[in-house]
Structure 1
Amino acid sequence: MQITHYGHACLLLDTGAARLLIDPGTFATGFEELTGLDAILVTHQHYDHLDTERLRPLLDANPDARLIVDSGTAAGLDVPHEVTAPGATLEIAGARVEVLGGDHAVIHPDIPIIPNNAYLVDGTHLHPGDAFVVPPNPVDVLFVPSGAPWLKMSEAVEYTRTVKPRTIVPIHEAVWSMLQLPYNLLNNLKPEESTFTVLEREVPTTL
């Protein structure tokens, strides 16, 4: 299977029978020019996994592609789509896609948990979305989230040790350079009596 990583969680899997694009989100680039897609699969509704502004042009360039999403993503779409959920098995242009998972990983107890689909392609390549979804059988390739507000690296390590894939491919890495994400989380969830201050580098500051 040929794999192309377009950044963060966005992957093109070319099985030889089907061309499947997963999670074309805001931090990914280069997928906009793709044609000949058989399906666009979205794991969940967060913007880093689906850029709705670039979705319609992508669908226009791929009129035969099926847009397959979870129930949470579906609520915000105004383009034709299919909703799927864990337990389903999809046949897409000769490829078999098993839907696993169920819930997004917990970011914080104050933040509601949303649906999250993991996609297992041809029983060999697993994209877990934003969760540590353990497949029912061994897989050849596991795409592992490596940076996120919900993620501890110790958990990512244990995930790989549990699944024991042949190959580990890190994804979901853009937040390492997008510091505003954890800053926003810390600021939004801080104690009411606290303020949040980001210090400028090499600038003495009195607090």
Structure 2
Amino acid sequence: MKITHYGHACLLIETATARLLIDPGTMSSFAEVRDLDAVLVTHQHPDHLDVAGLTALLGANPRAQLVLDPDSAAAVPDLPEGTVASPGQRLTFGASTVDVLGGLHAAVYGDVPGCTNSAYLIDDGALLHPGDSLFVPTQDVDVLAVAIDGPWLKLAEAVDYVRAVGPRVALPIHEGETTDPAKYAGMLQAFSPAGVVTRLTAGEPSEL
């Protein structure tokens, strides 16, 4: 599996048979990505869902299927037409599978309204992108994308999440609002199991 981090929460996943882009948001640089089979959105917040950028991206990738969580489909105006997928569903792109898991965004603060959040598990655990959640699946996970910053998150919770899921590789994401992402990733690495945390260079594909 090849993975490219386009900033913040946006990842391109290249399996043997599919190219999947997750969370093209306003803090990511994904405009030049081509030959996509699917674009998957975990939830409605702009840092994960840039409507204008997404519309242009789909125009340049005519075969790509858009997959949305239920609240994004209902609440976000001017979205391109897409497939609404709920937890428990399995999607197929080429020979690759995407299981929709989770269901809710992590609590942000107090009475701030919540929203749906889909975690996407690719190829039976090859990779998990949890969106803005700390969802722990029952399946084993090889590569875990893990947020390192956000108003809903403490770094200690990110460490606990890595330890709870127990992946071979943990990829720090969700760093777009951080002035020093290397420091946050370094702290995640310092408190996680040895050798697990791997920071990707933005825009450069990595074989994992």
TM-score, normalised to structure 2's length?
0.83
Question: What is the CA deviation profile of residues 52-91 of structure 1, one whole-angstrom value per residue up to 9, with x for unaligned ones?
Answer: 0111111111111000000111122442100001111111
Which structure would you say has the larger Rg? 1
Partners of 1:105 and 1:64 lie apart in 2 by 32
Question: Any conservation in 1 of the 2:67–2:83 contact (CA below 8 Å)?
Answer: yes
Question: Any conservation in 1 of the 2:66–2:83 contact (CA below 8 Å)?
Answer: yes
Partners of 1:68 and 1:23 lie apart in 2 by 10
- Cα offset for 1:93? 1.9
Question: What is the CA deviation profile of residues 173-196 of structure 1, one whole-angstrom value per residue up to 9, with x for unaligned ones?
Answer: 111139xxxxxxxxxxxxxxxxxx
Q: Which residue of 2 aligns with 1:37?
A: 36
Question: Identical aligned pairs, as a percentage?
Answer: 53
Please list every run of 5 or more consecutive structure 1 residues that lacks an aligned counterpart in the other structure: 179-207
Moved over 3 A (4+): none
- Cα offset for 1:11? 0.2
- Cα offset for 1:137? 1.5
Matches within 5 A, 1:77-92: 77-92=78-93
2:69 is the counterpart of 1:70 = yes
Please list every run of 5 or more consecutive structure 2 residues that lacks an aligned counterpart in the other structure: 181-208
Partners of 2:148 and 2:132 lie apart in 1 by 10
Partners of 1:12 and 1:68 lie apart in 2 by 15
Question: What is the CA deviation profile of residues 79-121 of structure 1, one whole-angstrom value per residue up to 9, with x for unaligned ones?
Answer: 2100001111111122100011010000012111100000000
Matches within 5 A, 1:87-98: 87-98=88-99
The CA RMSD measured in Å over matched residues stands at: 1.1
Question: Any conservation in 1 of the 2:55–2:79 contact (CA below 8 Å)?
Answer: no
Partners of 1:60 and 1:113 lie apart in 2 by 31
Partners of 2:152 and 2:79 lie apart in 1 by 29
2:111 partner amino acid: D
Q: Which residue of 2 aligns with 1:137?
A: 139
Q: Which has the higher contact order (CA 8 A, sep 6+)?
A: 2
Q: Aligned residues, how many?
A: 177
TM-score, normalised to structure 1's length?
0.83
2:32 is the counterpart of 1:24 = no
Q: Identify the range of structure 1 (88-97 vs 4-13) with the bigger mean alpha-carbon deviation.
A: 88-97
- Cα offset for 1:47? 0.1
Partners of 1:114 and 1:80 lie apart in 2 by 20
2:115 partner amino acid: I
Task: Give the alignment partner of residue 168 of structure 1, picking from 164, 167, 170.
Answer: 170
